[in-house]
Amino acid sequence: MSIKVGIPRGLFYYQFFPLWRSFFEELGAEIVVSDYTSRKILDDGVKKCVDEACLPVKIFFGHVENIKNRVDYLFLPRYTSVSKKEYVCPKFGGIPDMIRNTFNDLPKIIDTEINLRKSERNALKAAIEIGRHFSNDTKAIRKAYRKALLSYREFRQQLQKGILPDELLNNKVQSSDVISMENLPRKNKFNNRNRINDDENLNIAVLGHGYNLYDNYTNMNALYKLRNLGANVITIDMIDGKIINEKSKLLNKKTFWYFGSIIMGSAFHLLDRNDIDGIIYIMSFGCGIDSFICDLVERAIRRTKNIPFIILTIDEHTGEAGMDTRIEAFIDMIRWRKNYESNISSHGKYVYMR
Amino acid sequence: MKVTFPHMGNMYICVKALLDDLDMDYILPPFTSKKTLEIGTRYVPECACLPLKITLGNLLEANRLGADTVLMVGGCGPCRFGYYCEMHREILDDLGTNMKVITLEPPHGDVKEFMRRIKNLTKNAGVFKILNAIKNATRIAIAVDELERLTFKIRPREVEKGTVNEVYKQFKNDVISLKGSKEIIRLIKDTEKKLLQIKIDENFKPLKIGIVGEIYTTIDDYTCFGIQQRLGGMGVEVHRYVTVSNWITEHMIKQTLKLPRDLRFAKAAKPYLGTMIGGHAQETVGNTILYAQNGYDGVIQLYPLTCMPEIVAESILPAVERDFDIPVLTLIIDEMTGEAGYFTRVEAFIDLLHRRREKRQIEGRYILSGN
């Protein structure tokens, strides 16, 4: 029987799962992914985790609880850094320790440190260390890693076609999801969904960390709701990495957070384009990085352009109705602005109507 | 150019000495008060951590007094502190204050670049003068921290309550009117003598509590509601490893010159938190263990709401608490924290520690609390 490796469906799952899936499968391990985020997983996480942690970390705890009794290994690498000169977030760096000191009956944990801060070569080193749990053959591990990288790149390329990771990972991709990022379609793209009117498509950029954007329970299907309201959704993963890298250098001091640079770079890129109708920022309450980045993005947008911008903060108490109202109102305002901007209401009209 | 800098506990004393010695024109922001916090809270994003709010308030108050340049220390993460300089710059820009923010990044081995920046700031003062000023400022930082440690020791033991506070407050106010490191060092020495003359109860055995947590909240008396003084007043001896001088010597100087650092805390924390994850998380975990090993009665962890590294530390502390049998109280501070609620918790914690000690002393013959 092959070794079962558990991967919790949270945090970097939406970013690196294809990489690790192909890596572990190549090494002959069986992968067990925790269930989709649900009320129960959230509740378990909230119970186990310290109150002050942010929502994604709490959910991650819930996923660990969900999976820990079904696997031989729990895969919780310490993501200190995944890009040069940048960190991910202190909580990502401390996750294995947080988990180990919170739960009692855990399976073996793979907590290899992944630290590309100094050199990108460390990735291979980490991969070999991880692979050692399953194989003694360094050559085979190297080969598995190379193959994993290929499938990771393939995954990233797919994302840039406007497909959401969630659709990609669950094989739910519909041909209508594929859109060209350079030339966003305005007409009839989403007519197969339950559209509410025949207006042309809006282009709405959604900024935020991957685990907030793509976990449909966390953000209450925000992205799909936007699509159903007739919007082309553009997320940070759909923008070319090279552009982001270039643009993030525009900051006075480059941020030392992976997500910080990516979001700032995306925001600057979006401000350069003329076809973006609105920007939504989804942040989780108490996120240390977003508290700064979100503010910087807002300042950058307000300074340079007249694009509508809204921040949606989510935590474990968020009610879906409040979320819907905000999204719908935001879209309505943009549509009204487009359609009726020249229609100035004449003040005092009703006085003379009598 | 009128330079200013934000407050952080007693750091103003050594920065003042440094700027005095380099003949720079500067404005010392008024001491942090409720007003400072109100100003800061108005302009800083709500989820940002408390120190950003307070420091921005400091800068704006200094701006009203005529300051036009901000001196800030930078960093390279992952703690948010390293990005404070940029947030200050952006917010001050948008407010139209015309304040310039100059960041002194930890040099990371590049001492030349660091010196060049300082030279630019000081209108080309000689290298010797700069190094000498830095040396003196470091000496003062160490002396001030030792003075503070002395107050921690004497305060719970003093016969006439409040004497230490008086002397210490006098010192903090007097130091502002002095100029140059020499005068400041003399005052520190005088104050030390005064403190040592205070009559103490030699036989009193106070409870011992270690303070751990995020550096700004633990060091800055306004931010932590003067918890160290208050505990001293309750007859509790406090200790804190994290200090300004410690940060300067360990973090800035030793790391730059690649000297061996004092890493006892990292060694102690190893089984719980293996790597540095930014901020003072590893210090918090490691020092808690050191306190437990050194026979302290309890540990209080302080941090501002949403502080990322301390959240990691907080979720590890229960394991330390269990393994080393040391009670830990976590207090989280933000601009909404009420003093009464905060001290109720501290007092209850102290009561429990008293009872715990009592229980140990009369082992077995323990009947009812208060007996």
Which residues, 6+ apart, have CB-to-CB distance to A201 below 8 Å? A184, A185, A186, A187, A189, A190, A230, A231, A232
Distance CA B276, CA B281 (A): 8
Residue B35 is predicted with a pLDDT of 92
Torsion sign over Cα A213, A216, A222, A223: positive
CB pairs under 8 A between A and B: 119
Chain B hits for A283, Cβ within 8 Å: 47
Please name which of A281, A218, A151 lies closest in space to residue B45, comparing C-alpha atoms: A281
Residue A187 is predicted with a pLDDT of 62
Tokens (6 digits) for B5: 């800098």
Which site among A86, A97, A102, A285 would you substitute to test the B interface, given the most B Cβ atoms closer than 10 Å to its Cβ?
A: A97
pLDDT at B370 over 70: no
- Asked if residue B78 has a cis previous peptide bond (ω within 30° of 0), the answer is yes
Chain A hits for B278, Cβ within 8 Å: 87, 90, 93
Would you list which residues of chain B are within 8 Å, Cβ to Cβ, of chain A?
Answer: 45-49, 74, 76-80, 82-83, 85-87, 89-90, 94, 103, 272-275, 277-279, 281, 305-309, 311-312, 314-316, 318-319, 332
Tokens 């949606």 belong to residue: A312
DSSP state letter for A81 = E
Residue B271 is predicted with a pLDDT of 86
Distance CA B29, CA B21 (A): 19
Residue A191 is predicted with a pLDDT of 47
Taking CA B188 as the corner, what is the angle to CA B185 and CA B194, rounded to the nearest 5 degrees?
145
**Residuewise pLDDT in 10s, chain A (354 residues):** 688 889 999 888 888 888 898 888 888 888 899 989 989 999 999 998 888 888 999 999 999 999 988 898 899 988 888 888 888 888 888 898 889 888 888 888 888 888 888 888 888 888 888 888 888 888 888 888 888 899 999 888 888 888 888 888 887 777 666 777 767 776 655 544 444 455 678 889 999 998 999 988 888 888 888 888 888 888 988 888 888 888 888 888 888 888 989 999 999 999 988 888 899 999 998 888 899 999 999 999 988 888 899 999 988 887 889 899 999 999 988 888 877 666 666 555 554 443
Chain B hits for A101, Cβ within 8 Å: 272, 315-316, 318-319
The gap from C-alpha B57 to its chain's centroid, in whole angstroms, comes to 18
Residue B205 is predicted with a pLDDT of 87
ipTM over the 0.95 cut-off: no
Residue A192 is predicted with a pLDDT of 46
Is residue A181 classed exposed, middle or buried when 0-12, 13-18 and 19+ CB atoms within 10 A define those classes?
middle
Taking CA A12 as the corner, what is the angle to CA A6 and CA A15, rounded to the nearest 5 degrees?
110
> From the CB of residue A140, how many other CB atoms can be counted at a distance below 10 Å?
15
> From the CB of residue A339, how many other CB atoms can be counted at a distance below 10 Å?
10
Percent of chain B at pLDDT exceeding 70 = 95
CA atoms within 13 A on the CB side of A349: 4
**Residue range B97-123: mean pLDDT, rounded:** 74
The CATH number that domain B3-123 falls under is 3.40.50
pLDDT at B371 over 50: no
DSSP state letter for A238 = G
- CB A326 within 8 Å of CB A310: yes
Please name which of B153, B185, B147 lies closest in space to residue B169, comparing C-alpha atoms: B147
Tokens 């006439």 belong to residue: B160
Please name which of B80, B223, B261 lies closest in space to residue A256, comparing C-alpha atoms: B80
Q: How do beta strands A30-33 and A78-81 pair? A: unpaired
Which residues, 6+ apart, have CB-to-CB distance to A183 below 8 Å? none
- CB B47 within 8 Å of CB B306: yes
Is residue B369 classed exposed, middle or buried when 0-12, 13-18 and 19+ CB atoms within 10 A define those classes?
exposed
- Find residue A81's DSSP bridge partners: A115
Distance CA A222, CA A324 (A): 8
pLDDT at B221 over 50: yes
Residue A176 is predicted with a pLDDT of 67
Architecture of B206-371 per CATH?
3-Layer(aba) Sandwich (3.40)
- CB A89 within 8 Å of CB A288: yes
Is residue A331 classed exposed, middle or buried when 0-12, 13-18 and 19+ CB atoms within 10 A define those classes?
buried
Could you tell me which chain A residue has the CA closest to the CA of B43? A295
Q: How do beta strands B3-4 and B69-73 pair? A: parallel
Q: How confident is the model at residue B367 (pLDDT cuts 50, 70, 90)?
A: low
Could you tell me which chain B residue has the CA closest to the CA of A54? B306
Residue A105 is predicted with a pLDDT of 86
Long-range contacts formed by B223-228: CB under 8 A, 24+ apart: B223/B32, B223/B50, B223/B51, B223/B54, B223/B304, B223/B333, B224/B302, B224/B333, B225/B337, B225/B339, B225/B342, B225/B343, B227/B300, B227/B302, B227/B331, B227/B346, B228/B152
Q: What is the DSSP string of B325-360?
A: T--EEEEEE-TT--HHHHHHHHHHHHHHHHHHHHHH
Q: What is the distance in angstroms between the Cα of B315 and the nearest Cα belonging to chain A?
A: 6
Higher pLDDT, A190 or B197: B197
Q: What is the distance in angstroms between the Cα of B39 and the nearest Cα belonging to chain A?
A: 17
Please name which of B87, B5, B8, B79 lies closest in space to residue B43, comparing C-alpha atoms: B87
Is residue A316 classed exposed, middle or buried when 0-12, 13-18 and 19+ CB atoms within 10 A define those classes?
middle
Distance CA B19, CA B9 (A): 17
CA atoms within 13 A on the CB side of B202: 1
pLDDT at B104 over 50: yes
**Exposure string for B114-129, b = 16+ CB within 10 A, e = fewer:** beeebeebbeebeeee
Which residues, 6+ apart, have CB-to-CB distance to B126 below 8 Å? none
SS3 per-residue string spanning A271-315: HHCCCCCEEEEEEECCCHHHHHHHHHHHHHHHHHCCCCEEEEEEC
The domains found in chain A, sorted by start residue, are 4-159 (3.40.50), 175-340 (3.40.50.11900)
Q: Which helix (H) or strand (E) holds B146?
A: helix B127-154
Structure confidence by residue, pLDDT tens digits, B277-333: 878 888 899 999 999 999 899 999 999 988 888 988 998 999 999 899 899 999 998
Q: What is the distance in angstroms between the Cα of B226 and the nearest Cα belonging to chain A?
A: 23
pTM for this structure?
0.89
Residue A1 is predicted with a pLDDT of 64
Chain B hits for A299, Cβ within 8 Å: 90, 94
The gap from C-alpha B115 to its chain's centroid, in whole angstroms, comes to 26
Q: What is the distance in angstroms between the Cα of B190 and the nearest Cα belonging to chain A?
A: 43
Sequence length of chain A is 354
Inter-chain touch B316–A97, beta carbons under 8 Å:
yes
Q: Which helix (H) or strand (E) holds B275?
A: none
Listed in order, the ranges of chain B carrying CATH 3.40.50.11900 are: 206-371
Inter-chain touch A291–B85, beta carbons under 8 Å:
no
